[in-house]
Amino acid sequence: MSSQKDYIQKNKERFVEELFTLLRIPSISADSAYKGDVMKAAEVVAESLKSAGAEKVEICPTPGYPIVYAEKIVDPSLPTVLIYGHYDVQPPDPLELWTTKPFEPVIRKTDKHPDGAIFARGACDDKGQMFMHVKALEVMNATNTLACNVKFMIEGEEEVGSENLAWFVDRNVEKLNADVILISDTGMLANDVPSITTGLRGLSYVEVKVTGPNRDLHSGLYGGAVANPINVLNKMIASLQDDNNHITIPHFYEDVQELSEAEREAMSKAPFSLENYKQALDLSDVYGELGYSTPERASIRPTLDVNGIWGGYMGEGAKTVIPSWAKAKISMRLVPHQDPDKITKLFQEHFEKIAPSAVKVEVTPHHGGLPYVSPTDDPGYRAASKAMEESFGKTPVPVRSGGSIPIVALFEQKLGLKSILMGFGLDSDAIHSPNEHYGLFNYYKGIETIPLFFKHFRENN
Ligand code: BES
Ligand code: MN
Ligand code: MN
């Protein structure tokens, strides 16, 4: 609909300015020092939904950060699209690696984004992508083209496990009644290779502590005679993967769904260049589970990674010491049909079992989440595919992603709704990293594509 395109064209500068206002709020959900800012972000989102034309806008309290709910029901007999997104962001550190400040958005050009990209924490994950939906509502409203009923559910705790969104969903099944969930919180292959995410990995996250002597010891007087917790922890972690980078925890792969040869063959058709991949990361080689390609290792196979490891002396110079303890944070990405609780339990049992008697081991589970796969032959996928085809001029490729949005599997369980993961970010947008950015092309393309999803979803239903 060209009236929509005209409206976007006329208002494009303002659309960026308004996103900047949201990006300036450091809504870091992991750090309680930013509580006021997270709350402020919820208010700004609610206000923006009101001005975009939502009829009912509520900031719904939860035991944690609130859910911003909004709706516009044009006609109860039309299908309803439920939009999900998040207004919280990851901590920006390490700050010294940012070229410009994380909460002072600026536009700069990059190789991948010759038209410019917005640099700020949350620009892509997920404020920029979530805000496209708010602006798309404005576009549809202003041009009188809202083709379906719409509901919004924007949370502030995605980056810390979405615990209270689960709480909210449990209590609001009726209110959230819809025909499909539409989410832009993932990526696509390239700006000229549109794709739709058809799977997410699950997650099991644990923290481990290995304790040795009751105090730090002189490494000359005691070294060699007592267990060094850092040495032991490293040995234990190293043993969790064998020479083929296969995870050694007994029963770990028990529930893993192996893809058929035909499915793997189809997957290998998606455009991917190993050379570009290595080059973008300054790597001389890739590394991973024997027998699987790089895209497979990063999507359909489970992983075990240390996210952080610490203990002992980390200051300047040398201190000769046997530390009393060592700790690590370990994440396992899961695939269908692995269960996060079961995997956490298997990890715990195994980790306690392999510990030498000279140390004490504690395993503390953090948040987890179920993996998710979406169909490619239902009305939601078809609407997204047609929408992208119309806006990009190319049929999007279905791609399973390696990332996690744990709440998506819960939506299916609790609301009986499939989620369509129509994301517009690029892997190179540095989400969770310093210099996160989001292409202006991607931002506008998203705002243009979302109304087309509504149009095609209505036609399909
Ligand atoms: N939006 C991301 C997940 C994502 C990004 C999926 C790109 C696919 C492609 C989300 O905000 C996120 O970071 N999720 C966390 C999990 C959460 C429990 C902290 C993740 O994947 O690490
Ligand atoms: Mn996200
Ligand atoms: Mn994230």
Is residue 296 lining ligand 1, measured as CB closer than 6 Å?
Answer: no
In a 13 Å sphere around the CA of 66, the CA atoms on its Cβ side amount to 19
The dihedral of CA 91, 83, 172, 59: what is its sign? positive
Question: What are the start-end ranges of the H helices in 24-156?
Answer: 35-52, 127-142
pLDDT at 2: 73
Ligand 1 atom closest to 125 (CA): 1
pTM of the full predicted structure? Answer: 0.95
pLDDT at 208 over 70: yes
Neighbours of 393 (CB within 10 A): 9
Domains of the chain (ranges; CATH) run: 4-200+371-459 (3.40.630.10), 202-256+302-369 (3.30.70.360)
Atom 16 (ligand 1): residue with closest C-alpha? 404
pLDDT higher than 90, residue 136? yes
Active-site residue, from 18, 37, 71, 88: 88
Ligand 1 atom, smallest distance to 401 CA: 8
Q: What is the pLDDT of residue 1?
A: 53
Question: Rounded to an integer, what distance in angstroms lies between the CA atom of residue 265 and that of residue 301?
Answer: 15
The pLDDT value recorded for residue 3 is 94
In Å, what is the CA distance from 31 to each residue of 19, 157, 204, 250? Answer: 22, 11, 21, 36
Atom 19 (ligand 1) nearest CA:
159
- pLDDT score of 461 more than 90: no
Closest by CA position to 430, among listed 14, 35, 113, 16: 113
Residue 284 has pLDDT above 80, yes or no: yes
Identify whether the C-beta of residue 317 lies closer than 8 Å to the C-beta of residue 219.
no
Residue of 37, 138, 155, 158 marked catalytic: 158
Q: Measured in angstroms, how far is the CA atom of residue 29 from the centroid of ligand 2?
A: 12
